[in-house]
């Protein structure tokens, strides 16, 4: 068992400040940057707990302030039939291997779960609760379909002789051991919850795949990453077994004349609130630290997502969710875990570090309506770093603070001891008339015990939102959009003096940016006109060789179309052929007249231009494109269509059923 967290805690104090000028502005650490409402100085970091009693007291005290007649964050709702819940599978493949493409990753060496994986011999594809195993060493042949059961698979990792499948199940969580049946509320009602499920599939005989191990955890999956044989999982959860009730459940027990009384609803709400408060007061630590069930060759193990000694909280209250960072080996043995009492939204990972970002909790309900347009200036995000350089140990290494909100994992990038963060200081009151927004890039120095802000550039895309970010070496590229697309080139060569080197304004926007050669970027997004009307999927080639003068040198528009690569980077495939030539393939869907069509588009990238284009149709909704031994494989929900890579002529069709 690790030493108590509090004994090794280092708390940093930084200042989160926002510049509000119309033009991009730069500031090093210590410069004055007043916010819209006031200059906000926040002491942050993580504080440990001295005992389980201290943990429980903290949770109960704050939960009593947050609980409603409907429970915590939604509480209890009617249980849906399992068929009523559909989990969308997201993820995709790209990047060049030896003779086959691999998943398009943010960081080299840090694998991300995807719905399709290949090792050049086998291709594995997820479709709902089924795992299809296909031999792609020659003519594609489906070898087996493995039924995963009741959970909906969202991604997988492929090892040498096994696969780890990640998914979710709609349920009431994992019951606490010894939980009384009368705590299950009512047969048709249950706490709203999902479980995170990880299943290991033995592929020693790919024609006869076998379940080898499994992990089940109450909560929602924030992220999963694989580095060598170490699986890192970040899960967010609220207590699933607290027996909250709702006003409608109380009224259901009343006589009809009582239900029709003018004050019936108010009385039911008050009774539900009183009951839910008593539930919190009577709760135990086991109710809050959700369990983990592990079944593998070593037997069945039941543990918690965190224990009291490896549990921490931000020094400023940040929500009641338990964010758990867990490490497993390739056999799904739990090697370490760390718990954070905080609502968390974004996860970014390198080979050695996992960064967890949480929007700083504030009681927005207490903000007067006449100030709604101004609160953007005090929205902040805290970022916590966890060291996994030793895959068997998770160590908290410090926190940092940036202004605004993060739009995705692509908003963060670690480079040479610095963390670059792109954010937008947008008000949480969406659509508020008169509110102003802007985006910025903050540089944090990653120290052994803290992350300190050393550089800052603001004023990007005033009254616009970030649509894409890509950090490449000492350059950052930020796309904001409202009616036109400003592409900002950020010079990060001096981390203490980041600045806007150049800017390009064009109609439409890029939602994903991909470096293809020195000084060249591909952008996938939507074309548009000067009035902000969207016209269809656009693939653009940018020359950023001169950072002060970025140029769009070519583009292709597909009217009325859209591509999964616009919102899911796994759906993007770039296959480099030489230093400045390659093939880009993305899924493409659209409508011509009354006819919907599905397929992919392959575009040659030839130096400074986009070359020939091949549109490839498919029977189903194309999710991924892969290259294996001279074949282009398009994977849909119905099956795999193979094409000759040199001619794009269709060759083989492999149905999934």
Closest to 360 in 3D by CA, of 34, 27, 43 = 43
Cα-Cα-Cα-Cα dihedral sign, residues 593, 596, 597, 603? positive
Q: 33, 497 in Cβ contact below 8 A?
A: no
Paired tokens of 103? 């998943």
Paired tokens of 419? 């963390």
Closest to 106 in 3D by CA, of 587, 570, 586, 628 = 570
Q: How many residues does the chain have?
A: 657
Collapsed DSSP state (helix, strand, coil) of residue 309: helix
Kindly report each contact of residues 469-476 with a partner whose C-beta sits within 8 Å and lies 24 or more positions away, as own/partner.
Answer: 469/407, 469/408, 469/410, 469/411, 469/422, 469/513, 470/410, 470/513, 470/514, 470/515, 470/521, 471/413, 471/415, 471/420, 472/515, 473/415, 474/415, 475/501, 475/544, 475/547, 476/413, 476/420, 476/422, 476/441
User: Which CATH code is given to the segment(s) 372-505?
Assistant: 2.40.128
> Cα separation of 529 and 287, whole Å?
54
> Cα separation of 382 and 403, whole Å?
9
> Cα separation of 336 and 7, whole Å?
18
Q: List CB contacts of 223: < 8 A, sequence separation 6 or more.
A: 233, 234, 347, 349, 409
> Cα separation of 488 and 527, whole Å?
18
Q: List CB contacts of 487: < 8 A, sequence separation 6 or more.
A: 477, 478, 479, 503, 504, 505, 506, 510, 523, 542, 550
Neighbours of 588 (CB within 10 A): 24
> Cα separation of 48 and 55, whole Å?
9
Which pTM was predicted?
0.86
Q: 595, 564 in Cβ contact below 8 A?
A: no
Collapsed DSSP state (helix, strand, coil) of residue 281: helix
The string of DSSP letters for 434-451 reads T----EEEEEEEE-SS-E
The b-or-e profile of 379-401 (16+ CB within 10 A means b, else e) is bbbbbbbbebeebeebebbbbbb
Low-confidence ranges of the chain (pLDDT < 70): 1-44, 73-98, 171-193, 360-378, 427-435
Collapsed DSSP state (helix, strand, coil) of residue 64: helix
Paired tokens of 118? 């290949």
**β-bridge pairing 334-341 and 311-314:** parallel
Q: 488, 500 in Cβ contact below 8 A?
A: yes
Q: What is the pLDDT of residue 539?
A: 98
Q: What is the pLDDT of residue 107?
A: 97
CA R_g for the chain = 26
Q: 564, 570 in Cβ contact below 8 A?
A: no
């Amino acid at each position: 068992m690790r030493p108590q967290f509090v004994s090794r805690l280092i708390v940093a104090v930084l200042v989160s400040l926002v510049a509000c000028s119309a033009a991009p502005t730069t500031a090093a650490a210590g410069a004055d940057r007043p916010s819209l409402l006031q200059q906000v100085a926040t002491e942050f970091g993580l504080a440990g707990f001295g005992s389980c009693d201290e943990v429980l007291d903290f949770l109960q005290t704050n939960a009593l302030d947050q609980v409603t007649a409907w429970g915590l964050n939604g509480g209890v709702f009617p249980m849906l039939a399992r068929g009523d819940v559909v989990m969308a599978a997201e993820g995709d493949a790209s990047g060049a291997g030896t003779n086959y493409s691999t998943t398009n990753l943010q960081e080299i060496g840090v694998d991300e779960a995807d719905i399709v994986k290949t090792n050049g011999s086998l291709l594995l594809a997820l479709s709902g609760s089924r795992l299809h195993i296909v031999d792609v060493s020659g003519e594609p042949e489906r070898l087996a379909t493995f039924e995963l059961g009741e959970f909906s698979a969202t991604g997988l990792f492929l090892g040498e002789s096994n696969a780890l499948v990640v998914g979710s199940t709609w349920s009431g969580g994992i019951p606490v051991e010894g939980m009384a049946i009368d705590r299950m509320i009512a047969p048709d009602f249950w706490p709203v919850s999902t479980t995170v499920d990880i299943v290991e599939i033995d592929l020693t005989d790919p024609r006869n795949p076998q379940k080898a191990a499994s992990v089940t955890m109450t909560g929602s999956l924030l992220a999963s990453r694989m580095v060598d044989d170490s699986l890192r999982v970040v899960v967010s959860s609220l207590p699933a077994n607290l027996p909250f009730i709702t006003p409608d459940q109380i009224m259901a027990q009343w006589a009809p004349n009582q239900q029709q009384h003018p004050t019936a609803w108010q009385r039911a709400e008050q009774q539900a609130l009183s009951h839910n408060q008593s539930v919190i007061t009577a709760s135990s630590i086991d109710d809050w630290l959700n369990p983990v069930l592990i079944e593998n060759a070593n037997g069945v193990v039941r543990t918690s997502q965190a224990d009291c000694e490896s549990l921490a909280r931000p020094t400023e209250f940040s929500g009641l969710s338990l964010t758990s960072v867990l490490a497993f080996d390739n056999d799904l043995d739990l090697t370490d875990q760390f718990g954070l009492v905080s609502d968390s939204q974004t996860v970014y990972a390198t080979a050695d570090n996992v960064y967890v970002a949480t929007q700083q909790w504030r009681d927005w309900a207490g903000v007067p309506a006449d100030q709604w347009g101004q609160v953007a200036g005090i929205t902040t995000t805290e970022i916590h770093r966890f060291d996994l350089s030793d895959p068997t140990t998770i160590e908290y290494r410090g926190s940092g603070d940036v202004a605004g909100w993060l739009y995705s994992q692509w908003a963060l990038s670690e480079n040479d001891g610095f963390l670059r963060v792109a954010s937008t200081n947008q008000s949480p009151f969406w659509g508020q008339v008169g509110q102003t927004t802007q985006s910025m890039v903050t540089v944090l120095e990653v120290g052994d015990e803290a992350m300190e802000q050393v550089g800052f550039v603001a004023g990007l895309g005033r009254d616009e939102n970030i649509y894409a970010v890509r950090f490449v070496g000492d350059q950052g590229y930020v796309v904001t959009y409202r009616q036109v697309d400003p592409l900002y080139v950020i010079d990060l060569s001096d981390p203490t003096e980041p600045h806007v080197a150049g800017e390009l304004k064009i109609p439409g926007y890029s939602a994903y940016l991909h470096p293809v050669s020195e000084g060249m970027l591909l952008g996938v997004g939507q074309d548009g006109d000067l009035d902000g009307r969207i016209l269809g999927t656009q693939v653009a080639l940018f020359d950023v060789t001169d950072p002060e003068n970025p140029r769009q040198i070519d583009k292709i528009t597909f009217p009325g179309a859209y591509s999964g690569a616009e919102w899911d980077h796994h759906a993007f495939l770039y296959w480099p052929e030489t230093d400045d030539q390659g093939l880009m393939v993305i899924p493409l869907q659209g409508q011509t007249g009354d006819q919907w069509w599905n397929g992919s588009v392959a575009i040659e990238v030839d130096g400074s231009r986009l070359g020939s284009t091949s549109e490839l149709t498919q029977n189903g909704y194309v999710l991924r494109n892969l290259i294996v031994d001279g074949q282009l494989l398009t994977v849909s929900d119905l099956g795999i269509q193979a094409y000759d890579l040199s001619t794009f002529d269709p060759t083989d069709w492999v149905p999934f059923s």
